Structure 1
Amino acid sequence: MANRLFYADNLVALRDHVADGSVDLVYLDPPFNSNANYNILFRSPAGHAAESQIQAFEDSWHWNNAAEDAFEQVMRSGRSRAFDLLRAMRAFLGENDMMAYLSMMAIRLIELHRVLKSAGSLYLHCDPTASHYLKLLLDGVFGKENFRNEIIWCYRKWSVAQGQYPRNHDTILFYARKEGAQTFHTLYGEPSPGTMKRWGGRRQQAVFEGGVRKAGCTGEVARSPIPDWWDISILNPNSKERLGYPTQKPVALLERIISASSNEGDLVLDPFCGCGTTIHAAEKLGRQWIGIDITHLAVSAIERRMKDAFPGVAFTVEGVPRDLASALDLAARDKYQFQWWAVSLVDGMPLDGRKKGADGGIDGLIYFKPDGKRTEKALISVKGGQNVGVGMIRDLHSAMERERAPLGIFITAQDPTGPMLREAAAVGRFTDEFDRGWPRLQILTLADLFQGKRPQIPWPDPLAVLRKARREATEKQENLL
């Protein structure tokens, strides 16, 4: 069961792969319905054009057939309190974007309640856009008696607010699966200046004994229980921890949650795992984990992050194509996810093909250094359809000339035709100063890639994709309490 990463709709993955009462801790940081689009940032080598940005997810929801279906699933779930609340919200809000968001969340919260153990807990990370509605839904699913805390994560950032106070906090709603049964470890931190009091003409620490604050001895430093507001810095743009993924949370935030509400060896689940901060923290603290995300960009980023931070870590990735049939199925279901997956197979940097005309038919790049110093690029074109022809090879060659790219990689789901192979061969060879040569335009089929074949490229630049995660040393629970 443990240490599994799913590329899937989390509702499907939860129902098909996560058993009742099997999870110790759930943390979820779902999109907030803020109607914002978030881009993932890919690095480019120094001296090249701006870093590449691809829309990782669209943080907006719309009332449509899927939202109506989610609403009806809640109705049929047998969870009458949750449905009564959701129905009242629909009467109040109408059929709009917020109601679509709440319907989608309600059915997922019901599934998360199902998979939690009786001693388990759930932390839902949100912001003021929808936190008040989500708390009502959680009361309906978990029971108001199982509400534990509204945790305020406050942070400092520069913001200009007109007619209101700057919004410098998120809300984390903490619920137990069963009243009085949940795992919880009181965490301690250094006391704030407000816990200092003047005794005998000098400031001394206060000591907590039996819940009563008492004067400490001279020179004594007493740690106090961490309250329900947390002052943890957000990741600044230059943070070594930042990987380029939007809405990335600091590992310290997740370490605190996991340390408080689980034990070593417990199973932690994140159904909206983004770039993998939750599972990073879980692995670091000796927990087992399950992560789910609906975009291949996120899953690919997590795979790379975990391997960089924890060399030798063992986990399985499920839902990504493992054979030609599943690859063709992905191509038919989602053209762009297929393209990004195919580009990741050759360690390329994907481009956002959804921006019509912006990429000129190019789906990715591979930067390389033919002499170990200067940087060149190879263009990647991906075709997942059944009809391929020589015109596609000519288009890639034209793009290579336009972009001054010495190499081109054509990835196709189908076998190339004879004219395609001849056209590619006619483009010639790229030769470096050491008289080493490589075909300038290379054709690779999906069958080739599944058999382990890769493009012939001199000195690919490993830094020209996502930022590399720092290598971690795992920690024991007692170091954090």
Structure 2
Amino acid sequence: MANHLYYGDNLAVLRESIRDESVDLIYLDPPFNSNASYNVLFKGGDGAQSAAQIEAFDDTWHWNDSAEEAFGEVMRGGNAAASTMLRAIRSFLGDNDMMAYLAMMAVRLIELHRVLKPTGSLYLHCDPTASHYLKILLDAVFGATNYRNEIVWLRSRNPKGSQHGVKQLGKSTDTIFYFVKSASAPLYRERIMRPLTSTEIEEKYAFVDEVGRWDDGPVMRSGSMGDRENLVYEYKGFTPGPAGWRMEIEKLKELDRKGNLYWTSTGRPRRKLRPEDDKGTTISNYWDDIPPLNSQAKERLGYPTQKPVALLERILNASSNPGDVVLDPFCGCGTTVHAAQKLGRQWVGIDVTHLAIGLIEKRLRDAFPGVEFTTHGVPQDIGGARELAARGKYHEFEKWALSLIAAQPGNLSKKGADKGIDGNLWFGAKSEGRAIVSVKAGGNVGVGMVRDLRGVIEREGAGVGILLTLTEPTRPMLTEAAGAGQYELPGFAPVPRLQIVTVEEAMRLRDRALRLPARRDDAFKRAVVEKDPGAQGRLDL
């Protein structure tokens, strides 16, 4: 299957592009617009939320024709348990946003069940807003006997809602439901042992010798383990009883050579257990050892709901093997596909926003130089870009073009005109600089467009203007742009105040096609290069 990134509605992609029983592991973190910040992909320079990601789901989680159609598909489908359960939930909830969300999720969960192998596992990540309803749907689709765990992840040690005067307890955890397709699905618990902390090592390995810390352990088998004639032999004048030693003589000699065999005052042999041989402790369903990403985390890319790679690595190590296929149908900023690439899994990511697709492409290429994957549903060359523009879906072209240079959409909401602002970029050490982007998809371009953009940046008090055009600029346009002069941010080299960038250049160079002083880091930050893509990430405890 190799690696594939899809732009589009995950329901359509699942039905049209993913075969039955072809996926080994599914992780999904489906958005629910109970809190606007949950779906926000970007924030402005002043911290204000952007409508870009919210707009992508604006028509999804409301009860409308699409929700009614999704409900009808479940009713007419072959999963009787799912249709019965969804009908019962609707009789209780009525036709509202929550019901629309559950109808949309139900039809997708049925498709996810279809593409999962009999040995496959599914992990659904959610917050308390809809977790109780989602668990009921999962029971119906996968079968209650295939429920394995409700994993509780401690995502915050300083939860909101715990301040004085707030009449509810702080919300500090997320829920991850773990289901399997059948009883044959594996769980590799030994791969996800939690390493001991330094304090735990000191407590458990309290003795110290010239080699290091150690703890006392047996080297002979107990009588309850049964007789083992082949393990009964003499070593340094000592012969154990009929149960024998715990190892063959060559391993016992090696243990002794390493200083890990000692003799008690009564002359009986014992083993010195070392912390470096300790695999750690078995984890339960309460995960408090993987901290959320703070604002200073190296892997943070500026996506508010970004999950730590270590969280996804634990899930992938627990339920998949190298070469297995991992699917994330709501892949957001791409943490799942990043972890899959790092651990040698094949992967499929799907997202409905051009912004997310652009971020994932950049993240993977930054972290894994030479990585190979195929992006579907977006232009791959200038011919494809012209075809997208020619379809008449200007806003789709605009959002895709902005994603090439990692720009935040300007006024893409349905309220009012864009006022000449198609996108924004923030730069400067304190995000004090702003660049306004104007996207032009038409074949007729002229100097008036440059003048208009200059008027917009002057009206808005922005430092730089970017004209992103599908058509090559004319000489008078270049002359007019050069006449706008330079913009200089204190402490940085001056840059052209008006810049004209072609879509073809942006496709080739991405955000390097622009010249901005100290571009802000928390929009599309460069991912850290993975030095050893095949190695499992260590947890910072």
State the TM-score bracket (shorter-chain normalisation).
Answer: 0.7 to 0.9
1:63 Cα deviation (Å)?
0.5
Greater Rg by CA: 2
Report what 1:34 is aligned to: 34
Counterparts of 1:53-452 in structure 2, within 5 Å, are 54-58=50-54, 61-155=61-155, 156-161=157-162, 162-179=166-183, 181-186=184-189, 187-190=192-195, 221=275, 222=278, 223-231=280-288, 232-322=290-380, 323-328=384-389, 332=393, 335=395, 337-345=396-404, 347=405, 349-354=407-412, 360-365=419-424, 379-384=436-441, 392-402=449-459, 408-412=465-469, 422=476, 425-426=479-480, 428-429=482-483
Deviation per residue, 1:425-479 (Å, 9 max, x gap): 456535679xxx9997566665786798999865775666511111113355788
Contact (CA 8 Å) 2:402, 2:409: kept in 1 or not? no
Deviation per residue, 1:314-337 (Å, 9 max, x gap): 1111111231454226751x61x4
Question: 2:532 is aligned with what amino acid?
Answer: T
1:184 Cα deviation (Å)?
1.6
The whole-number CA distance in structure 2 between the counterparts of 1:246 and 1:103 is: 26
Compared CA separation, residues 411 and 149, structure 1 to 2 (3 A) = same
Compared CA separation, residues 91 and 195, structure 1 to 2 (3 A) = farther
The whole-number CA distance in structure 1 between the counterparts of 2:309 and 2:505 is: 38
Compared CA separation, residues 365 and 31, structure 1 to 2 (3 A) = closer
Q: Is 1:471 aligned with 2:475? A: no
1:351 Cα deviation (Å)?
3.8
Contact (CA 8 Å) 1:42, 1:466: kept in 2 or not? no
Question: 1:160 is aligned with what amino acid?
Answer: G
Compared CA separation, residues 313 and 205, structure 1 to 2 (3 A) = farther
Report what 1:372 is aligned to: none
Compared CA separation, residues 29 and 430, structure 1 to 2 (3 A) = same
1:53 Cα deviation (Å)?
5.3
The whole-number CA distance in structure 1 between the counterparts of 2:93 and 2:337 is: 35
Q: Which is further off, 168-177 or 55-64?
A: 55-64
The whole-number CA distance in structure 1 between the counterparts of 2:194 and 2:508 is: 53
The whole-number CA distance in structure 2 between the counterparts of 1:285 and 1:148 is: 24
Contact (CA 8 Å) 1:195, 1:206: kept in 2 or not? no
Question: 2:171 is aligned with what amino acid?
Answer: R
Where 2:454 maps in the other structure, the secondary structure is helix
The whole-number CA distance in structure 1 between the counterparts of 2:427 and 2:180 is: 51
Where 1:40 maps in the other structure, the secondary structure is coil
Contact (CA 8 Å) 2:52, 2:412: kept in 1 or not? no
Question: 1:40 is aligned with what amino acid?
Answer: L
Where 2:25 maps in the other structure, the secondary structure is strand
The whole-number CA distance in structure 1 between the counterparts of 2:482 and 2:447 is: 16
1:244 Cα deviation (Å)?
0.6
Aligned-pair identity in percent equals: 48
Question: 1:167 is aligned with what amino acid?
Answer: K
Counterparts of 1:449-464 in structure 2, within 5 Å, are none
The whole-number CA distance in structure 2 between the counterparts of 1:80 and 1:171 is: 27
Question: 2:178 is aligned with what amino acid?
Answer: F
The whole-number CA distance in structure 1 between the counterparts of 2:389 and 2:92 is: 44
The whole-number CA distance in structure 1 between the counterparts of 2:301 and 2:217 is: 40
The whole-number CA distance in structure 2 between the counterparts of 1:478 and 1:409 is: 41
Contact (CA 8 Å) 2:495, 2:516: kept in 1 or not? no
Where 2:399 maps in the other structure, the secondary structure is helix
Question: 2:467 is aligned with what amino acid?
Answer: F
1:15 Cα deviation (Å)?
1.1
1:32 Cα deviation (Å)?
3.3
Compared CA separation, residues 217 and 50, structure 1 to 2 (3 A) = farther
Question: 2:137 is aligned with what amino acid?
Answer: L
Where 1:353 maps in the other structure, the secondary structure is coil
Question: 2:339 is aligned with what amino acid?
Answer: A
The whole-number CA distance in structure 2 between the counterparts of 1:109 and 1:453 is: 35
Deviation per residue, 1:207-266 (Å, 9 max, x gap): 9x9xxxxxx987665532111111121111222221110211111110100000000111
Would you tell me which structure has more strand in proportion to its own residues? Answer: 1
1:41 Cα deviation (Å)?
3.7
Compared CA separation, residues 218 and 56, structure 1 to 2 (3 A) = farther
Report what 1:46 is aligned to: none
Where 2:298 maps in the other structure, the secondary structure is coil
Deviation per residue, 1:336-394 (Å, 9 max, x gap): x432321333x25334213667974122356899xxxxx98754211346887776444
1:196 Cα deviation (Å)?
11
Compared CA separation, residues 389 and 54, structure 1 to 2 (3 A) = same
Contact (CA 8 Å) 1:42, 1:51: kept in 2 or not? yes
The whole-number CA distance in structure 2 between the counterparts of 1:301 and 1:449 is: 14
The whole-number CA distance in structure 2 between the counterparts of 1:455 and 1:284 is: 25
The whole-number CA distance in structure 2 between the counterparts of 1:133 and 1:300 is: 32
Contact (CA 8 Å) 1:125, 1:171: kept in 2 or not? yes
1:274 Cα deviation (Å)?
0.5
Contact (CA 8 Å) 1:413, 1:446: kept in 2 or not? yes
Contact (CA 8 Å) 1:5, 1:292: kept in 2 or not? yes
Contact (CA 8 Å) 2:355, 2:406: kept in 1 or not? no
Where 1:189 maps in the other structure, the secondary structure is coil
1:188 Cα deviation (Å)?
1.4
Where 1:236 maps in the other structure, the secondary structure is coil
**RMSD (Å), alpha carbons:** 4.2
Deviation per residue, 1:147-189 (Å, 9 max, x gap): 111111123124233333212111111111112x112201312
The whole-number CA distance in structure 2 between the counterparts of 1:314 and 1:83 is: 40
Where 1:338 maps in the other structure, the secondary structure is helix
The whole-number CA distance in structure 2 between the counterparts of 1:461 and 1:265 is: 40
Question: 2:50 is aligned with what amino acid?
Answer: I
Compared CA separation, residues 53 and 33, structure 1 to 2 (3 A) = closer
Contact (CA 8 Å) 1:321, 1:330: kept in 2 or not? no
Q: TM-score, normalised by structure 2?
A: 0.72
The whole-number CA distance in structure 2 between the counterparts of 1:199 and 1:255 is: 29
Question: 1:188 is aligned with what amino acid?
Answer: M
Report what 2:209 is aligned to: none
Q: TM-score, normalised by structure 1?
A: 0.80
Report what 1:213 is aligned to: none
The whole-number CA distance in structure 1 between the counterparts of 2:385 and 2:398 is: 14
Compared CA separation, residues 305 and 98, structure 1 to 2 (3 A) = same
1:34 Cα deviation (Å)?
2.1
Question: 1:54 is aligned with what amino acid?
Answer: S
